[in-house]
Amino acid sequence: MRLTPMTTLKPCPTFSTVTNNKVIKPQCITTVLQPTTKPDNLSMSEEDTRQAAKRLEKLIDKDTDHYNLSSISPIRKDKLRKRWMEYQGLSNWEGMLDPLDDNLRAEILRYGNFVEATYKSFEFDPSSPFYATCRFSKNSLFDRCGLLNSGYKVTKHLSATSGIQLSSRVEMALSWAATRSSYIGYVAVCKDKEEIKRLGRRDVVVAFRGTTTCLEWLENFRATLTHLPCSTNFDMVKNGDGAMVQSGFLSLYTSGAGASSKSLQQMLRDEIARILQTYGDELPISLTITGHSLGAALATLAAYDINNHFNPALMVTVISFGSPRVGNWSFRQHLEKQGTRVLRIVNSDDVITKVPGFVFDDVVGKGDVHVAGLPNWIQKREEDAHRWTYAEVGKELRLCSRDSPYLTSINVATSHHLNTYLHLVDGFVSSSCPFRATARRFLRR
């Protein structure tokens, strides 16, 4: 992948902010760029795709990876503190996404950095005896991953277990490929008094990484919908109806490795219960669950489960990056009924966000099951379609790799990469001015 230098930067008008009768207009990039590779040519060999993904990681400007919270003006700090529930999705982020609110942008990037730490702390080397575990202790994880002044402390490492059983012959030949349980993320609690003051509450973060192990890949391909277990709060399985989710994601969330290893679901429930017992009566408390790719799907499942299990004892928000589809229409309705807030960041060029299956709304329009005037047998088919097809969840912030003048090679790997998502969030201004000239996260040579 080659980056062609820009020849011209031009400011263009976009949504304005009025301050003391003066109109301040953010700048966006209008580029006269001659890419050496056509952006719409997505055909690359498998080796080229892998190399492009590796190069993309190196292109991120490490000096500008993280926002310096001390650089945020007192006015913006005060705004975040007073309106924290709105930034956590109380009003479904109405009026904040187009144009993108600066405080919300900073919050999305901050949670993106927490997700990035899950990748940095994962042991990728299959020859290591510690393969698929966390490389760092709870006390040192943020320091080792570059989040020195986050104000948070990791309280729990989380692991996910695949429910797939491989043959003993495969397990003996490829022990690393048969690894069933692996480090998937962590729970962290904001403990710094200044950060708590800035945020306006004590925040708990749960962060999940994307797919890395062989069995996780196999779980991703188990795309059939399966019923969620019955709930005391919702009658989810009645006459064959109810909330359904992708089989592989549910397997990773609920499977354990015998008595010695709890499921991800149980670990998370136990840790949230402990945190609520410790801090629940002290301050306003929020739970922000964030993840990328597979981790974004697990974040959505976890938010549903926590809200359902604790009924609800705290405000639960999901910030997801590049999430595949998770469940059917009924699952979406239950999420909304719970009050679970989901902000789904999507790259239009990322095919992972378009799988598995298809969305019924794409076929019949608005997805309203009860259409007046239609014969009963047609309405019955529509109801069946809602039951057995996927539905998008939450509020969408849609971005596009082609809007960035720094991405001249667009393919499956780079479009799905977490760093691409953070780069696009940092640059996005509005639908009429999709990339700003003052973006802090740049891709460079």
* pLDDT tens digits for range 4-52: 443 333 444 443 444 444 444 444 544 434 444 444 444 444 455 445 4
Average pLDDT over residues 233-257: 75
Domains, the chain, in order of start with CATH, read 67-399 (3.40.50.1820)
Q: Is 140 a catalytic residue?
A: no
Active site includes 384?
Answer: no
286 flagged as catalytic: no
In this structure, the dihedral spanned by the alpha carbons of residues 175, 177, 180 and 181, taken in order and rounded to 10 degrees, is 90
Query: Looking at 292, 416, 417, 423, which residue is catalytic?
Result: 416
Question: Choosing from 203, 350, 403, 426, which is the catalytic residue?
Answer: 350
- 365-382 burial: b if 16+ Cβ within 10 Å, else e: eebeeeeeeeeeeeeeeb
Quote the pLDDT of residue 72: 45
Return the amino acid letter for 170.
Answer: V
Report the C-alpha gap between 420 and 30 in whole angstroms.
19
Q: Considering only CA atoms, which of 428, 370, 412 is closest in space to residue 96?
A: 428
pLDDT in tens, 247-295: 999 999 999 877 678 999 999 999 999 999 999 788 799 999 999 999 9
- At residue 364, the pLDDT reads 41
Q: Tell me, what's the pLDDT at 179?
A: 78
**Residue 111 in contact with residue 425, Cβ under 8 Å?**
no
> Each residue of 336-356: pLDDT tens digit?
999 999 999 999 999 999 998
Single out the catalytic residue among 293, 320, 409, 415: 293
Over residues 73-102, the mean pLDDT reads: 88
Look at residue 300 and tell me whether its pLDDT is greater than 80.
Answer: yes
- Which ranges in 280-343 belong to alpha helices (H)? 294-310, 329-338
pLDDT digits (tens, 9 = 90+) for 421-437: 999 999 999 999 888 87
Least confident stretch, 21-30, 108-117, 172-181: 21-30
